[in-house]
Amino acid sequence: MSGKVCSSNSVMQARRTVDQLRVEANTDRIKISIAAAQLVQYCQEHSRSDPLLTGIATSSNPFKDKKTCVLL
């Protein structure tokens, strides 16, 4: 953009900023105690099925090379 600022552009931009801020000011907000509790609950409900958290047994780890023993 050149150094010249078109004044009508600035006004339009400022109007858009105010309109957007009005939308955001009208957002409903819930208490952090409730929001946080729901994040904690989600983690707890899914922790047992989170492989990176619980660890994966070698036998069920598709990425681990399994060395098989051959009985001769």
Strand, coil or helix: what is 68?
coil
Q: Which residues are at the interface with another protein (CB under 8 A)?
A: 7, 10-11, 14-15, 17-18, 20-25, 27-33, 35-40, 42-47, 49-53, 56, 61-64
Of 45 and 72, the one with the shorter C-beta distance to another protein is 45
Three-class secondary structure of residue 21 per DSSP: helix
Q: Which is nearer to another protein, 32 or 69 (CB)?
A: 32
Angstrom distances, CA of residue 72 to CA of 28, 63, 69: 70, 27, 9
Measured from the CB atom, the residue of 27 and 71 that comes closer to another protein is: 27
